[in-house]
Amino acid sequence: MIDTVTISKFKATCLALLDSVNKTGQPLIITRRGVPIAQIVPPPVTKKNKNWLGSFRNSGSIKGDIVSPATRLQEWEVLNDETTP
């Protein structure tokens, strides 16, 4: 059975009513002068991972050397004698 609530009561107790819809899973119809103007429905059920640790396992790979600098040392301006005052 779908519960109904007036817009003035919804405005006064909005957060509590939204929590109720989320916990019970029952939709809520908001009315103005007895005419339905909106329906609040719970969000769809999402599958949650039990454990997030290891969720990226086997999703990446190492390409090349990960320890050495990305460029040659000669390309660094800081190491050039010409730029040193």
18 CB-contact burial (10 Å; exposed 0-12 / middle 13-18 / buried 19+)? middle
CATH topology for the 3-40 domain: YefM-like fold (3.40.1620)
Question: Residue 4 has what pLDDT?
Answer: 94
Question: Residue 85 has what pLDDT?
Answer: 55
Q: State yes or no: pLDDT of 82 exceeds 70.
A: no
- Among 73, 72, 9, which Cα is nearest to 40's? 9
Element (H, E) at 27: none
pLDDT in tens, 18-77: 999 999 999 999 999 999 999 999 988 887 767 778 778 888 887 888 787 777 777 777
Question: Residue 81 has what pLDDT?
Answer: 67
Higher pLDDT, 74 or 83: 74
- Per DSSP (E only), the strands in 1-85 are 3-6, 28-32, 35-40
